[in-house]
Amino acid sequence: MRVLVARQDNIGDVLLAGPAVRAVAGRADEVVLLCGPRGRAAADLLPGLDGVIEWCAPWIDPDRVPVERDDIEGIVRRLRGFDRALILTSFHQSPLPLALLLRLAGTPWIGGISEDFPGSLLDLRHRPGEDMPEPLRMLALAEDAGFPAPADTRLRVREPLPDTDHLTGGPGYVVVHPGTSVPARAWPPQRCAEAVRLLRTAGRRVVVTGHRDEKELTASVAGEDGLDLGGRTSLAELASVLRGACAVIAGNTGPAHLAAAVGTPVVSLFAPTVPAARWAPFGVPMALLGDQMAPCKDSRARECPVDGHPCLASVRAEEAAAAVEIVASVEEVPAR
């Protein structure tokens, strides 16, 4: 049985699909993931995959992606030969555009979560009965499709990870990750820098991480008190750095989910533009900071719609530093 699992969007979205991918891998002979370019690096870290198809879907990518006949015909050709397909989506997305392309590719059985009537596009129309974390929502679709959940439903990455002790000086530090892919979800940089200083004053080593496009930000946040690794790690190396931390301070962004995938506690600076019940770090000790009833609640805004960014600007550095001490001392969270 050759199965295609689709999970597009960003790094965090792909990591959250990990339990569902492992469920499919437990029964299928071959599992291939369809992902977008923004999530490709995370796809390469998922256990259970035999291959990856990368394609930028015009109905998924936040930038304006042109719809071109040659591109559509090309992806239909690449999608041929699968016995089954599971389309994993966020709660605000539809599986139906991709289901149509899979039908054109000749896929005989397709499952997805759909509020819209799917007609002949889906063989399994899964409809979750309750609000739940995104990993469990996607896993529920896999289970309904006949792929039992793995014994451990937490997020995982492919082993082995590279050794990064030469970058960090060994485990036991706190990671502060100030950047986010969506500006509305970022804790203000000055608060991040204050947290670095407070943690260092308390005797903690602090490592500041970020993408290569965030070097100016990470340098500013690290200052003289933190170790700046901005732009110095691949995603696999970042996973290794996060694994060596006793706790991670991050916004609602991919590295927060990557920290969860390596079992590291997270202090989540969470803007309520999307529900924390769905998108908070999953399966690890976690402290949720931020006003979850702020005016931006459930807006899915990419840029903060409220002057002063009150949902996260109201969180003091002292609160984040105190939360580090709490989550770092919590025993491991049991699997589902």
Positive or negative torsion for Cα 283, 288, 293, 299: negative
Q: Look over the chain and give the mean of its residue pLDDT values, rounded to a whole number.
A: 96
Q: Residue range 284-309: average pLDDT? A: 94
Strand pairing report for 110-113 and 124-126: parallel
Say what the pLDDT of residue 332 is.
72
Q: So what's the pLDDT on residue 91?
A: 82
The residue ranking higher by pLDDT, 332 or 136, is 136
Rounded to two decimals, what is the model's pTM?
0.96
**pLDDT attached to residue 192:** 98
Q: How far apart are CA 34 and CA 206, in angstroms?
A: 36
Residue 229's pLDDT is 98
User: How high is the pLDDT of residue 334?
Assistant: 65
How many angstroms separate the CA atoms of 267 and 328, rounded?
A: 10
What is the average per-residue pLDDT within 87-107?
95
Asked if residues 264 and 242 have their Cβ atoms less than 8 Å apart, the reply is yes
pLDDT above 80 (res 87): yes
| % pLDDT > 90, the chain | 92
Start-to-end CA span in the chain (Å): 27
Residues contacting residue 70 through CB under 8 Å, at least 6 positions apart = none
pLDDT tens for each residue of 201-247? 999 999 999 999 999 999 999 999 999 999 999 999 999 999 999 99
Query: What pLDDT is attached to residue 331?
Result: 73
Task: Examine the pLDDT at 335 and tell me if it is beyond 90.
Answer: no
